[in-house]
Amino acid sequence: MGRNLSLELRGCHRDRNHDPPSHPTETTVTTIEWSGLTKSFGEVVAVDDVNATIESGRLTAFLGPNGAGKTTTFRMLLGLATPTSGTATFDGKRYDELQDPVRHVGAMLEASGFHPGRTALDHLRVLTLAAGLPREAPIRVLTATGLSDNAHRKVGDFSLGMRQRLGLAAAMLGDPEVLVLDEPTNGLDPQGTRWLRGYLRQLVDEGRTVLVSSHALSEVEQTADQVLVIVGGRLIRSATLADLRAEAGVGSRVRSVEPDRFETILLHAGYHTSYHDGDLVVDAAPERVGELAAANQVVLHHLAATARLEDAFFRLTEPPETAEPTRSR
């Protein structure tokens, strides 16, 4: 059935003859807490003593390299894996202890659990019926996720980006207070990514708790309030986005008529470079970059200071044996 469907079915109503009221429960879920959360597979420790609190009204980004333990942590949070020790709770309750969990927590771990022969609308109707949700829920979430025009199209014909949207639509069927999304930008084109950014910010502004895992650091930089960094199963940093940016220091974004030559000049001067949205990014202050450009007669079209999340992230996750000593500028 796939993970989206299994999450929707867990703890759902069974009265299929009548639609339940729109707000059947009075309690709300606002806070996620991990306390000593640990998961071992034999001698391999996938998640090691993770402690964190994710609060409402914030978009929290859970960052880490592939294999760092992000998905395993989410699976324990959602009751799909049992912790070796520690707890993962919503307002002090495990997922399986929540009353009508689908109405409190929406989740998307991957966008592969869809029957290819069903239409998007039919898929959502199956979930709605199984969970005892209002009949209008599928139309509401299809509209919210921009899939209305493809409601009667078979999911087997969907692109990966459209499947991501459908997975998000399924997660939102119960109009939950908490949203847990694993790599939600995967497969989205630039337009879809911009839409998702705005949609998630809207949910946060409504007071919901949004937890997103990602390695798309530039996207998280534009959306997150709080950042958690996990490496090798251990949570190594918890900070606001502003604090993490400050730790990155000041760098520069550059546009030049001779980008390759100027990049070579910067590398020979001992600086690190990368490209982002067509700009050359360098870990040097704009004043120093300007000096090097002038000394080498390189014309710059754009030069601006920047402190990017990637800088702090790579600094945190770089293996100690390959880390270079900090140079004094």
The whole-angstrom separation of Cα 201 and Cα 178 is 13
- Please provide the DSSP assignment of 287-320 as one string: HHHHHHHHHTT--EEEEEEE--HHHHHHHHHS-T
Going residue by residue through the chain, which has 329 residues, state the pLDDT in tens, using 9 for 90 and above. Answer: 344 433 333 433 334 333 443 443 446 888 999 999 999 999 999 999 999 999 999 999 999 988 999 999 999 999 999 999 999 999 999 999 999 999 999 999 976 678 999 999 999 999 999 999 999 999 999 999 999 999 999 999 999 899 999 999 999 999 999 999 999 988 888 888 889 999 999 999 999 999 999 886 777 888 899 999 999 999 999 999 878 877 777 789 999 999 999 999 999 999 988 887 788 989 898 999 999 999 999 999 999 988 666 767 776 776 654 434 333 33
Write out the H or E segment, with its range, that includes residue 327.
Answer: none
Please, which residues have CB within 8 angstroms of residue 84's CB and are 6 or more apart in sequence? 38, 39, 40
Domains within the chain, CATH numbers bracketed = 3-245 (3.40.50.300), 250-306 (no CATH)
Closest CA to 178 of 21, 80, 56: 56
On the 0-12 / 13-18 / 19+ scale of CB atoms within 10 A, 86 is middle
Closest CA to 196 of 146, 137, 160: 146
The pLDDT, as a whole number, for residue 258 is 94
- Global confidence as pTM: 0.76
The pLDDT, as a whole number, for residue 248 is 73
The pLDDT, as a whole number, for residue 106 is 97
The pLDDT, as a whole number, for residue 323 is 39
The pLDDT, as a whole number, for residue 167 is 95
The pLDDT, as a whole number, for residue 166 is 96
The whole-angstrom separation of Cα 244 and Cα 207 is 23
The pLDDT, as a whole number, for residue 10 is 40
The pLDDT, as a whole number, for residue 30 is 87
